[in-house]
Structure 1
Amino acid sequence: MNLLKTTFMAALLSATAMTASAASLKIGLESDPDALDPDKSRTFVGRIVFTSMCDKLVDITPDLEIVPQLATEWSTSEDGKTLTLNLREGVTFHDGTPFNAEAVKANIERSKTFEESVRKSELTSIESVDVVDELTVQFNLSNPDAPLMAQLADRSGMMMAPSALSADYANNPVCSGPFKFVSRSAQDKIELEKYDGYWNADAIQLDGVSYVIIPDSTVRLANLQSGDIHIVNQLAATDAETVESTDGLRFANITGLGYQGLTFNLNNGDMAQNPLGQNAKVREAFDLAIDREAINQVVFNGLFKPASQPYTPNSPYFNPDYPVIQRDIEKSKALLAEAGVETPVKVQLQVPNTPVTLQLVQVIQSMVSEAGFEVEIIAKEFATLLSDADAGDFQITQIGWSGRIDPDGNIHGFVTTGAGFNDGNYSNEKIDELLNSARTISNPQERAALYQEAMGIVAQDRPLIYLYHLGWLYGIDEKVQGLTLYPDGMLRLEGVSLEN
C-alpha cells in the first residue's frame, strides 16, 4: 500500500511539474539582444524582450493607434509646449517600489543625460520634467513635438525602477511589466517569470517566458518541429511552406513598418577613407548594381517588398519621385568611370552572422561584382556588429530598422547630425532643418512635404540605401492560443496561453 501510494504521488508530482513547465512560453529569437537597458538598447530582438518585461507610458493597438498603458490620460497645451500625463494608480516595479511621477521624471532625465543613452535624440524637445503630484507629471517642451507620443510608446517610454538605475542596470533590469527578469546566458537564452504584482495580472495566463537564441533559421525550425520552442520569430521565408504543411504548426505573417538596407561610413573614423565613403557617385554606382526584385525572389520567396526609401508606397510620407531603383549595370560602370576610381573597388561589408543575412549579402556581392566592386564579407555576432558600427569600425554595414508608427522614427535618428543611429556620421544642414522642422508640425500634409523633400536629399547623398520592406514571418505551435500580431513586430503576451 505504501509503495502504491508513493508511486502515485511521484506520478502526480511529475504531472504537476509537466503542467507548470508547459505554462512557460519558449520563443526562438534570431539573434542575441544587446544591453537589456532601454536607454542603451539598439536591437529589434531586445525590444521583443522588453515588451514582456518593461511597460511603457503608452502603447499601440494593432491598427497603430496610441492607447494608455502606464499613463491613462494625457493632454497638450494650446501652444504644444506642455504635455501633461496622468499615471495609473497602484503600479509597482518588480522590486516592489512604487511607480509614480517621480519615477517618470527619473527615467526621462536619465534617458536625456546618461552618457551611453541612444534615446537622447528622441527626447530632445523635453527641456524639463515637473512632478505635479504623485500621479501627474508634466513635460515642458522647447517646441511642439509631433512624434513624442510615438517615442513614448517605445523604448523612450519604458519605465525602469529608479531604485535599480545604474550603469550596470542591464545585468539586472527591473521594470514594471508582466514578466520580471530571472537570468540571462549570453548567446543562449533569457528567462523571465510572471510578476504576481503586475497591475494587469488577470490578462497574463503564462507562468513565464524564455527567449532562446538560435541564429540558424534551420535550427530554429527544427526546434519548433520538435516542440522545444513554441514560436519562431523571423521564420525564414523558405521555411513558410514547411510550417504550413506540418501538423500542429501554423504559419503567420504581417506587414511591418521598417526596412533592411546598407549604411555607408562617410565620416566615422579612418574606415571612412575609401571611395564609397568619400564619393556619392561611387555609392550610387553600388546602389544601381543591385537588383532588389531578384533579391526578394531568391532570398525571400517573394514575401517582402523591394524598397528605395524608408516608407512603404501606401504611406502618406512616401516620395513618389523616388520609386524602387531598377538595376542598371552600364550606368553603374559609367558612374565609376566619372568618379575616376580604380576598379575593382575593394570594400568590406559587415553583416550579422545569420544564414539569411549571409545569403542576402552574398547575392549582393555577386551582383555588384559585375559593375566593378570587390566585396569582402565580414560576418559578426549582432551585438558586436552594432558596437563596431557605432565605433566606426566598418565601411558598409548591413543593418535595418523594425519601423515606427510615426515617420520621424524611420529617418531622423539615422541621417540628422549626431543622431543616435547615424553610424556613418552623415551630416547635411538642410536635412537637419527639414527633419527638425517636421517634428514641430502636427498637420500631416505639411509634415509629408518636409519628409518627401528630405528623402530627395537622402536619395542624392546616399548615406544609406534601402533594400526591402520587412514582413514579420512566424512559425507557431498550435498550442499557442490568443496571440495577436502587430505591425511593429512585438510579441505582446496579454491573453496568450498554452494548451496542454
Structure 2
Amino acid sequence: MSRLALAVLLAGTLLAAPAQAQTLRFGLMEDPDALDPTFARTFTSRMVFAALCDKLVDIGPDLKPVPQLATSWSLSEDEKVLTMTLRPGVTFHDGEPLNAAAAKFSIERHLKTPGSQRRGEIAPIDTVEVVDDLTFRINLKTPFAPLLAQFTDRSGMMVSPKAAQALGDKFSTAPVCAGPFKFVERVPQDRIVVERYDGYWNKDQIQIKRIEFRPIPDGTVRLTNLRSGQLDLLERLAPNDLAQVKRDAKLKVGSTVELGFQSIVFNLAKDTPLATDPRVRAAFEAAIDRNALNQVVFNGEFVAGNQWVQPKNPNYVAEYPIPKRDIAKAKALLAQAGVKNPVVNLTVYANSEAPLVGQVIQAMTKEAGFDVRLQATDFTTALDLADKGNFEAYLYNWSGRPDPDGNTFSFLACKTPLNYSRYCNPEAEAAMTAERASTETVKRKAAWKALADRTQADRPFVYLFHRRLLWAFSTKLSGFGEYPDGLVRYTGLKLD
C-alpha cells in the first residue's frame, strides 16, 4: 500500500471514529414484536419504544409518576375526570404538533382499535375531550385508580395522527412518535435502527446519535459480542455470567428486581385433566421447589414468588406465603382427582434460559407422577400460539407494571387481551373491579386479598419467581440509570 493510500485510510478511520462512538449498539434477548404501541406486548419492544415514543407520564426510581409529555394533571373530587396539560412545543417525528387533539386520537386508538393490547388497560375510559390546544379531559365510566400508572407505559404513548391514518395497519413498519429518536429501519431478526430526532423537546439531554438494537437470543453469544466490543450494552445478562462480568475491568453491571413475574400459564379451555381439575394444577405446583429452581438455573439471583407481585411488595397478600415443595401432597391430589401420570405439554421459549427452567420443572414434577414434555418455540410463535389457545401450559414472562392492576387485570379478567389461560370467574372479576374503583389503600388491599382467595383455589397460573434484571455495559457508556420497570432511559447516556 502506498503512503498516500495509507494516509487516506488512516484519516478516514480517524474521521469515522467519533461518529461510531455515538452509535449505541444494544443487544436484546429477543426480536421485538410489532413496533406499534397499540399492539405491542413484549418486554424487548418496550426497550425500543423507550427511544421512539415518549409517554404522557414516566415513573421515577421510586415508582411515582413524573411529567413527560404531560406537565401536570388533576383528578376531580369524584375521581371520574382526569384533566391533563401537555408540554408546549412538542412535535412528532414527522413535524406534526403534539396537541390535545393528537392526545385524544392516540388514547382513542389504544382504546378502540380492533386487536388493541391496550384496551383492557384503559377500558374504564368513557370519552376524551379537547379543552384547548394543550389541555384534554378524560371522562371515566367509574373511578379508575391505576390510570396514571397505565399512562407510564404504552397506553400513554402518543403517535402521530397523520402517520397513523396514512399507514393504517402498516404503522408498525414506520412508527412515528414523539420520543428522542426517530425510526430508520428494521431488518427482522437482525437489527432495528433509530437516529436522534433534532426536534425533540429535551434534545440537549440526548447525546447518543444513533442506536442499533440487535436481537441475540443466545445469552453467551450476546455477552461474547459485548466483551469483544461489538456491543456497548446488553439487557438480561444471564445470572450465571454475572461473576465473570464483575471481574472484567472493561464492563459494568446494573440490576433491579422486575415489577412483573415469571409463571406457568395453564390453558383452561383444553380438554385435559390439567385444564379441567384445579387439584391437578395444585399437584403440579406442589411438586415445584421455587428456591431450588432459582439456585439451579439462576445462581440464586432471582426472587422466588407465588403471586403477581414479589413478596416485598406492599401489595403482596401475606396470607398466602410461598409454599414449600410437597411431593406427598402432589401425589395425594392426583389420587383424589383420579388422575395417573398426566401428560403436560409445556411450551418454552427457544432461548438460553427457558429450556433449562423447563427441564428442572420436568424433573421435579416427574417425582409426583407428571410427564412433562417440553416444546421449545421461538418467541413470536409462542405468543401467537398463546393468542390462539394452541397450547396446554406455557412458561410465560411478564415484565410488570408499577400498579399491580397491570399484572392482574389483563390476565385474569374475562375476555381481556392477555387472558391466555381463558380464565373467567365472577368473584375474581368483582375483586378486580373493586381494586380499580378506589384509590384507598385499605380497600385496594382487601380487593387483592379477595382476588388471591379465588385464584389460589383456581390456579390459572403458577407464579414461580421474579427476575433480577441484569444489564452489562461497556465502561465507555456513562449516565446509565437503574429503574424499577427494567427499561433504559436514554436521557443523559453518553459514549466516550
Q: If the TM-score is normalised by the length of the shorter chain, which range does it land in?
A: over 0.9
Alpha-carbon offset, residue 5 of structure 1: 7.5
Question: Unaligned regions of 5+ residues in structure 1, if any?
Answer: none
Residue 90 in structure 1 maps to residue 89 in structure 2: yes
Instruction: Show the counterpart of 1:308.
Output: 306
Letter in 2 for 1:282: V
CA deviation after TM superposition for structure 1 residue 314, in Å: 2.0
Number of the residue aligned with 1:408: 405
Superposed, 1:224-263 pairs within 5 Å as: 224-263=226-265
Q: For each residue in 1:324-359, what CA deviation from the matched residue of structure 2 results, as whole angstroms up to 9, or x when unmatched? A: 121111110111111012x32112111111111110
Q: State the distance in 1 between where 2:357 and 2:5 align.
A: 58
Specify the code of the residue in structure 2 equivalent to 1:479: K
Cα distance, 1:251 vs structure 2? 2.3
Residue aligning to 1:389: 386
Question: 1: CA distance between counterparts of 2:254 and 2:243?
Answer: 11
Query: What secondary structure does 2:136 align onto?
Result: strand
Corresponding residue for residue 365 of structure 1: 362
| CA–CA separation in structure 1 for the residues paired with 2:173 and 2:118 | 19
In the alignment, the residues of structure 2 paired with residue 304 and residue 323 of structure 1 have an alpha-carbon distance, to the nearest angstrom, of 17
Q: What is the SS of the residue equivalent to 1:331?
A: helix
Instruction: Output aligned runs, 1:193-272, within 5 Å.
Output: 193-267=195-269, 272=270
- Structure 1 consecutive aligned stretches of length 4 or more whose deviation exceeds 4 Å: 3-10
Equivalence for 1:103: 102
Q: Distance in 2 between the 1:359 and 1:5 partners?
A: 56
- State how far apart, in whole Å, the 2-side matches of 1:145 and 1:304 are: 32
Between the aligned partners of 1:176 and 1:133, the Cα distance in structure 2 is 20
Match in the other structure for 1:447? 444
2:277 aligned partner, one-letter code: N
Supply the distance in 2 between the matched residues of 1:252 and 1:487 (Cα, whole angstroms).
Answer: 11
Q: Tell me the amino acid that sits aligned with residue 333 of structure 2.
A: L
SS of residue paired to 1:73: strand
Question: Aligned to 2:315, which of 292, 314, 317?
Answer: 317
**In 2: Cα distance, 1:353 partner to 1:397 partner:** 12
Q: Residue in 2 aligned with 1:167?
A: 169
1: CA distance, partners of 2:29 / 2:44: 8
Q: Which string of whole-angstrom CA distances, capped at 9 and with x for unpartnered residues, describes residues 106-138 of structure 1?
A: 111111111110111111111111111111111
How far did 1:288 drift? 0.6
Q: How many Å apart are 1:6 and its aligned residue? A: 7.3
Identify which of 419, 423, 428 aligns with 1:422: 419
CA RMSD across the alignment: 1.2
Q: Distance in 2 between matches of 1:111 and 1:257?
A: 23
Is 1:283 equivalent to 2:281 in the alignment? yes
Structure 2 counterpart SS, 1:72: strand
Cα offset, 1:382, TM superposition: 0.8
Mapping 1:432-443, distance limit 5 Å:
432-443=429-440
> 2:129 maps to what in 1?
130
Distance 1:252 1:137 in 2: 38
**Do 1:317 and 1:452's aligned partners in 2 also have CA atoms closer than 8 Å?**
no
Give 2:53's aligned residue. 54
1:25 correspondence with 2:24? yes
Q: 2:462 aligns with which of 461, 465, 470?
A: 465
Among the aligned pairs, what percent are the same residue? 45
Aligned pair count reads: 492
Structure 1 residue 316: Cα displacement? 2.0
Q: Alignment partner of 1:137: what SS?
A: strand
Rounded to whole Å, the distance in 2 between the matches of 1:95 and 1:200 is: 17
